[in-house]
Amino acid sequence: MTAVTIDIDRDGWTTSLQVAISTDDHGYRLAGPKYNGSGTNLARLPVTAEGAAQAVAAIDLFGPAEPSGEAVLVIVRSGPGVWRACLQHDEDIVAWLTEPAVGEVTEFRRVRLKGRDLAEVRGYLELVVSA
């Protein structure tokens, strides 16, 4: 099975947050400045097979070819060192990409996905589903 993760890093030059979806071999930056090697990883969130399958099915319904082809990747924290990620469309959670958050959560970062970004995320999620 191909492991896919949502990576959250802090850039060393600008201190801005960077968010990417990746495998061990390559990744795709979704938000923040370009990776320049100065960053510090804050969290690496493994994408679950169930979450990936649900997200791919949802993206197929509102994907990049549709006028409403937009989603939001939401990173939440539910305790010290406990991070989770979900995919939202029209403010509704369509899939938890990681293990679901439980208890009280604090929204940490929202990343708007449309067009190429949404297609890239779908491609990475397919790696988990097809494995």
pLDDT, tens digit, 9 for 90 and up, residues 84-105 = 999 998 888 999 999 998 888 8
Residues 49 and 70: their CA atoms lie apart, in Å, by 22
- Planar angle of CA 119, 120, 125, nearest 5 degrees: 95
- The structure's pTM equals 0.88
User: Would you place residue 25 in the very low, low, confident or very high pLDDT band (cuts 50, 70, 90)?
Assistant: very high
Amino acid (1-letter code) at residue 111: V
For the chain, which residues make up each domain, given as ranges?
5-129
What single DSSP character describes residue 97? S
pLDDT, tens digit, 9 for 90 and up, residues 55-83 = 999 988 876 555 556 889 999 998 888 99
Q: How far is CA 58 from CA 17, 63, 90, 100, in A?
A: 27, 8, 12, 17
- Tell me if residue 104 falls in helix, strand or coil: coil
